[in-house]
Structure 1
């Protein structure tokens, strides 16, 4: 190493990258809970405000039961609990995107997953969705916020919304989210999914997961993505659940706790999926820019959920 090399400063972005990598490894283990607790302790007034806002939301016995099931099993079917009209608005918007598929393929910003296409990139302005976007409005509905919030015992933060069309990739090895994994966006990560096409069988690439209990042996592993053989060696295939369900079915999964995979689409099939991701503040990682921009009047609760 030359004197110049030895004295050169590490670029700021490299330091951040290394710091995030360290946090990522810590968050994959139970040490992440200690980090989460420390960060929360530093922001107790903010958390008290979020809890107070959560209590302003309406409540129903069926939402309470759904939250209990989410806490116990790591997942819950909410098809009958969420707003059907909001789901139809999401579906209508999604169908319009699919009709322009060839045009939108060339616009997507992330192309590392060859098995699906992200269809909402054109709706972003400065990296943010308008708060009146149908995909955002669906994620802000009281039923979703209350179910996730009661589980987290805190008003959740809406991290992102996504529309993906999964398609077959013949002759390609399984990769990324097609392999078994846990999400490490934070210690509690709840994803609200809507099927926007019928998922009738395994050929349609259903969201596939292992409930919270049988997933426990994988929570301190440093392996990012695992094959069927690696997973079934610990759990056996009987623990696996496939979400086979019709269009507009909705379900919430704690993907930080339930090992999961999907998008294994077979020839002549496809799957259109809406995803909203919620985490519990404060985020373990440094906060990225918000994914939302205010349009029209917003309540204090909505602003807090979207970090505006």
Structure 2
């Protein structure tokens, strides 16, 4: 590659980066809803197909109630709703990873968050998970898709699955997701969590959030990450909810709507957490490289959820 070609490539990357940053700023405000509506209007036939697929999923009264709570409060505990067998498969897989912790730490690609370790890098082929991976199967279960889909009024798109081990970072200032923030992957972002270790108290670094109502005070904030004092000046500390719960507890949070933070682990404690992220199509940002690769027979619904 010549110097001229390299310069042109770098200039193109800079333009893309600037464009994404502009979208990020727009998406942090209510203008993002205007952009989302415009993009959806350009893809009405595709949306109609997704809605039809969503309606093919089974439904249960408890799923309907969970979706209503997710819409109203921005979160819902689904521990008694999701498939226990799939959760156990996730836990077993995760425990194997933790038993090889030192080896996997050396392979980790992203190291900017010193307080947690991502343990799934070796499971990726060209950046994509196999669709028969236990973490993917948990995210594709009908209960999760129906609850989130009914809230979004659309078949959700599975954006990613992650396994993270949060560990103490003594003498380091809080940073990144340890500070209060909203997720701006899109306008509707739902995360399905499973605790893979007991979270018994604050020392275990529970996922901590403010329900949708009080979080409205930050809906158009251009600040990315905020400390406790900044947040409590608007809400007070009484609205804060800590997810103190035993191993295999599972919950869904609309993290674009509920201000949240976590991973504030204290000495001699750790927290192992599964996270699946869903957004509502079409994505506001340019679609990233494929995150999933097809293995075995997949239904049309599963292919639509993973954009395969």
If the length of structure 1 is used for normalisation, what is the TM-score?
0.97
**Deviation for aligned residue 1:290:** 1.6
Q: 1:306 to 1:9 in 2, by over 3 A?
A: closer
Cα distance in 1 between the residues matched to 2:128 and 2:9: 33
**Secondary structure of 1:168's match?**
coil
Counterpart for residue 25 of structure 1? 25
**Deviation for aligned residue 1:49:** 0.2
Q: 1:217 to 1:294 in 2, by over 3 A?
A: same
Pair 1:269 & 2:269 matched: yes
Pair 1:73 & 2:73 matched: yes
Structure 1: gaps of 5 or more residues: none
Once the two structures are superposed, residues 80-114 of structure 1 have per-residue CA deviations (whole angstroms, 9 ceiling, x without a partner) of: 00000000000000000000000000111110000
Counterpart for residue 47 of structure 1? 47
Cα distance in 1 between the residues matched to 2:212 and 2:164: 25
Once the two structures are superposed, residues 11-48 of structure 1 have per-residue CA deviations (whole angstroms, 9 ceiling, x without a partner) of: 11110000000000000000000000000000000000
Structure 2: gaps of 5 or more residues: none
Cα distance in 2 between the residues matched to 1:225 and 1:249: 27
Q: 1:9 to 1:87 in 2, by over 3 A?
A: closer
Pair 1:164 & 2:164 matched: yes
Pair 1:182 & 2:163 matched: no
Counterpart for residue 154 of structure 2? 154
Counterpart for residue 223 of structure 2? 223
Once the two structures are superposed, residues 142-165 of structure 1 have per-residue CA deviations (whole angstroms, 9 ceiling, x without a partner) of: 000000000000000000000000
**Secondary structure of 2:26's match?**
helix
CA RMSD of aligned residues (A): 1.2
**Deviation for aligned residue 1:10:** 7.0
Counterpart for residue 236 of structure 1? 236
What is the correspondence of 1:42-191 to structure 2 with a 5 Å cutoff? 42-191=42-191
Once the two structures are superposed, residues 284-307 of structure 1 have per-residue CA deviations (whole angstroms, 9 ceiling, x without a partner) of: 000001210000000000000000
Moved over 6 A (4+): none
Once the two structures are superposed, residues 98-146 of structure 1 have per-residue CA deviations (whole angstroms, 9 ceiling, x without a partner) of: 0000000011111000000000000000000000000000000000000
Counterpart for residue 282 of structure 1? 282
Cα distance in 1 between the residues matched to 2:35 and 2:279: 15
If the length of structure 2 is used for normalisation, what is the TM-score?
0.97
